[in-house]
Amino acid sequence: MTRTLMGTVVVAGAFALLPTQAEAQPILQQRCAADSLNSSQAVQRLEWARKCGLIKNVGSPTYGIDTGMPSYNGAGNLIEYQEADPNRNPYGEGSFSGPSWAFEVNSAFVNNLYLSGGTNQSSDAWGYKKWTRDAVRQRARPLYPTFGTTANLADANNVQLWAHPTLSDCNLYADAGGGAASLSTTYYVNGYCEASCYTPDQEILFEGGSMPILDAVNGLREDLMTLTPDSTLDALALKKNRTYSYTVETRDTTHNIYAIRTASGGELRVTDEHPVITGSGRMVQAQTLKVGQDLVRADGSPDRIVGIEKTEHFGKVYNLRPVSHDLVSNVLVAQGFLVGSSNFQNDDVGYINRIILFRHIPSAVIP
């Protein structure tokens, strides 16, 4: 994968790669761009994939596998269903859950819809056991599967496939409109997609100054500024990093936006689950912030929150991520405040709601 190739791709949703597909990342970005869903549509896609995997490939609730793990709500041991045999069908032809989850239907459903937590069990309308988690653990932007005609996303012969727009059947189609003539009987899960975070006017810090993220996307700016890996809350330092990728939706949809105003007169406008650094050095989702808490400015100074307004934004939202992988240098500057990159987006509890800007914090006390 070259920087030139990455620099030419503007995507419509962040993405989650299958382990064997890292080299196909730009292709998956483009697939997610064409198959862009909002959060409610992503939930519907997951429900559809679960139903189709069970009814079409498992065939009967009696074929469940007892995991031996008790359900969180006391409804017996968790029962799993595997829709493809990895030994006979290692790439999962005709499956809806994908190799990332070993073609296990309930595991794919619950982990793409929720963050980590206790797993409940109930029976669905068809008699299969269904896994869920508490509503507060649901991802603000669920991951959803996207499909192709071959297992190898980088294969030049791999044609993107779509579910029917009404989700009325378990077929995959070669056009987004679900034309009958484009019905495909050979299909594979090629990866998982998700969405983005910033409204287009929000300014991100690059070398030489801040720029609205939409302008950065259009200009393919690569000179992103982030914290240095050894930064702490009392010793912040910025470095010139590089932009790894941008995410942008192709469809205009309605997003919940939190407009956070501070005592200095600053304002940060981000989607509800966007990761933000507080004055305690803790990373939290924007929707959990309260008036009286502090945001952190790029120089490390606290800036008290004096107002939070929940609004809606109809249009596209954007995000970006640097090339670096360590947590601290994935903290960047938006509207003058420290926030997390898309590497934190939809991440599990190990990253969100944890302290990342203090040294010598015992790991046992970090959520």
Q: What are the tokens at 202?
A: 């929000």
Question: Domain for residue 246, yes or no?
Answer: yes
The distance of Cα 285 from the centroid of its chain, to the nearest Å, equals 13
Quote the pLDDT of residue 165. Answer: 92
Report the pLDDT averaged over residues 141-161: 90
Q: Which of 34, 116, 39 shows the shortest CA–CA distance to 271?
A: 39
In this predicted model, which residue has the larger pLDDT, 256 or 186? Answer: 186
pLDDT digits (tens, 9 = 90+) for 113-136: 998 889 999 999 999 999 999 987
Rounded average pLDDT over 11-21: 36
Instruction: Answer whether residue 84 is part of any domain.
Output: yes
Tell me what the mean pLDDT of segment 26-38 comes to: 74
Same domain, 178 and 251: no
> For the chain, what is the domain count?
2
Look at residue 20 in the predicted model and tell me its pLDDT.
39
Q: List beta partners, residue 276.
A: 284, 339
Looking at the fold, whether 95 and 238 belong to one and the same domain comes out as: no
* Rounded mean pLDDT, 235-257: 81
If asked whether residues 311 and 329 sit together in one domain, one would say: yes
- Chosen domain end from 131, 163, 193: 193
Same domain, 148 and 68: yes
Do both 232 and 107 map to the same domain? no
What average pLDDT does range 146-169 have in this prediction? 92
- Please give the residue that has the higher pLDDT: either 62 or 7: 62
Same domain as 170, residue 215: no
User: Is the pLDDT reported for residue 220 higher than 90?
Assistant: no
pLDDT for residue 15: 36
| Assigned domain for 154 exists | yes
Could you tell me the residue range of the domain that residue 349 belongs to? 203-365
Give Cα separations from 23 to 18, 27, 122, 365 (angstroms): 10, 9, 39, 37
Q: Find tokens 């239907």 and name the residue.
A: 105
Average pLDDT of every residue of the chain: 83
pLDDT for residue 180: 80
User: Looking at residue 13, what is its pLDDT?
Assistant: 34
**Do residues 189 and 215 share a domain?**
no
80 lies in some domain: yes
- Range scoring the smallest mean pLDDT among 53-62, 65-74, 327-336: 327-336
Looking at the fold, whether 154 and 221 belong to one and the same domain comes out as: no
Over range 333-349, report the average pLDDT.
76
Longest dimension (CA), the chain: 63
Show the beta-strand stretches assigned E in 229-293.
Answer: 238-240, 243-248, 253-262, 267-271, 275-277, 282-285
Task: Indicate whether 155 and 186 sit together in one domain.
Answer: yes
User: Rounded CA gap, 67 and 83, in Å?
Assistant: 15
Per-residue pLDDT, 195:
57
Rounded mean pLDDT of 317-336? 88
Give the pLDDT of residue 359.
44
Percent of the chain with pLDDT over 70: 84
Last residue of a domain, one of 193, 227, 251: 193
Better-predicted residue by pLDDT, 249 or 96: 96
Strands 120-123 and 129-132: what pairing? antiparallel
**What is the structure's pLDDT at 233?**
84
Same domain, 46 and 79: yes
Same-domain pairing of 189 and 256: no
In a domain, 103, yes or no: yes
- The verdict on residue 3 lying in a domain is no
What per-residue confidence (pLDDT) applies to 312? Answer: 83
CATH number for position 341? 2.170.16.10
Whether 316 has a pLDDT exceeding 60, the answer reads yes
Nearest to 290 by CA among 268, 308, 265, 303: 308
313 with 244: CB under 8 angstroms?
no
| pLDDT surpassing 70 at residue 19 | no
The pLDDT of residue 254: 76
Assigned domain for 1 exists: no
The residue with greater pLDDT, 251 or 295, is: 295
Assess if residue 198 is contained within a domain: no
The reported pLDDT for the residue numbered 11 is 32
Domain end call among 151, 167, 193: 193
Tokens of 113: 């819809």
Residues 162 and 263 reside in one and the same domain = no
Instruction: Say which range, 87-91, 239-243, 246-250, 306-310, has the weakest mean pLDDT.
Output: 246-250
